[in-house]
Amino acid sequence: MKTSNGIKIIENYDLVKLNTFGVFANAQFFIEINNEDDLKELFSCPEFKDNKKLFLGGGSNVLFTKDFNGIVILNKLKGIEILDENLDYVFIKSMGGEKWHDLVSFTVDRGYWGIENLSLIPGTVGAAPVQNIGAYGVEIKDILENIETYDIEKGEKKVFKKEECEFGYRDSIFKNKLKNKYFIFAVTLKLNKKVNPNVSYKVLQEYLEKNKIEVKSSKDISDVVVAIRKSKLPDPVLIGNAGSFFKNVYVNKQTFEKLILKYPDLSFFEEDGMIKIPAGWLIEKCGPIENGVSWKGYRKGNVGVHKRQALVIVNYGGATGEEIKNFSEEIINSVYYKFGLKLEREVNLI
Ligand SMILES: Cc1cc2nc3c(=O)[nH]c(=O)nc-3n(C[C@H](O)[C@H](O)[C@H](O)COP(=O)(O)OP(=O)(O)OC[C@H]3O[C@@H](n4cnc5c(N)ncnc54)[C@H](O)[C@@H]3O)c2cc1C
């Protein structure tokens, strides 16, 4: 189907290649946005105005549990530019459809510091603020200057400053109050020009020491992060997954004290007055009740928990989104049954 001015809206579109879980789902309507004019034109189309909307980047943080009864808008807006710089900082604007790791490469190749710890996170720049992507001791909020969006009801531009985004752990205003209300079309980052490594994260530190690597550039850190991630995380090209399926759990001191009395081997980290309990540890310590085995490496039909990463649910091939959702429900219930803690999904159920 073509609209009058040429943007192409397709009916009944197969989304299997557009989500890293590789589950089958159809979109009632589908459009790929390649420039801002496409977007502006889309706002006046009835297929857009009259239907439920889903903005999609790399599909690496979504689980389609059924067909999408509305319009899916695939973000392909490209372009990275240096907006401004002074002696200390550089301001880089990236369009939302750029691949996140391409932006990381752009910055480390020029010697800028700030997002090297976030190397190799799949997906697009536009989706990165939605869950405040984070890894190896850094979150996008740490270096974010502003976000340019379109209000999808009014079709008007709005710039969000960092303070307005209500960032939290794998969270932002765009994942909550303003979910699906704004399209993020560009992101500006404020990066350091002076040497500013962040190697506080234990795994990173250990790798650098073990391999006797002296950090001289942000590219050095990026290379290390890439190597660690490749050794630890399953590649969605080889096996369907969406990275960490669940969020880590934060508890207060009181809850923590009760837990540690009962489970002296409890894994935990202290962060800003709260205690973080790795969800992967909790999952590993639980299992399907009837079997008495751990979830880690456990497979049920086409779905399973990855053998090296208890946080990652994988699609061995042919699993439906519903099957994966139900499997995740079983994990949530078993963790709650044993520890009294409610796991939250990091992945967006659609
Ligand atoms: C192997 C693997 C490892 C991962 N590791 C990490 C990690 O270390 N840290 C981490 O934080 N995440 C990680 N993730 C999760 C994922 O990569 C990030 O959440 C990423 O930012 C998702 O980008 P995407 O473009 O694929 O988003 P999508 O999956 O396409 O979308 C995610 C959500 O954002 C919304 N959205 C997407 N684009 C826009 C837009 N332009 N405007 C408004 N809303 C939008 C969607 O509607 C959806 O709700 C990992 C995933 C995988 C598969």
Q: What is the pLDDT of residues 16-46, one digit of tens each?
A: 999 999 999 999 999 999 999 999 899 989 9
If you measure from the C-alpha of residue 255 to the centroid of ligand 1, how many angstroms do you get, rounded to a whole number?
31
Among 244, 284, 328, 345, which one carries the catalytic annotation?
Answer: 244
Question: Which is it for strands 269-271 and 144-151: parallel, antiparallel or unpaired?
Answer: unpaired
If you measure from the C-alpha of residue 113 to the centroid of ligand 1, how many angstroms do you get, rounded to a whole number?
22
Please, what is the average pLDDT of the chain?
94
Residue 51: alpha-carbon gap to chain centroid = 25
C-alpha torsion 13→322→248→250, nearest 10: 110
Q: Tell me which of 75, 101, 130 is where a domain ends.
A: 75
Domain that holds residue 329: 240-349
Ligand 1 nearest-atom number relative to CA 19: 29
172 is catalytic: no
271 is catalytic: no
Among 41, 145, 170, 328, which one carries the catalytic annotation?
Answer: 170
Instruction: Specify the DSSP element, H or E, that contains 43.
Output: helix 36-43
Do 268 and 170 belong together in one domain?
Answer: no
With a cut of 50, list the residues of the chain below it in pLDDT.
Answer: 4
- The total of other beta-carbon atoms located within 10 Å of residue 186's CB is 23
Residues within a 6 A CB radius of ligand 1: 20, 54-62, 75, 96, 121-124, 126-128, 130-131, 133-135, 174, 183-184, 233, 236, 241-243, 348
170 is catalytic: yes
CATH number at residue 58: 3.30.43.10
What confidence tens digit (pLDDT) does each residue in 163-203 have? 999 999 999 999 999 999 999 999 999 999 999 999 999 99
Q: Tell me which of 232, 263, 293 is where a domain ends.
A: 232
Do 168 and 298 belong together in one domain?
Answer: no
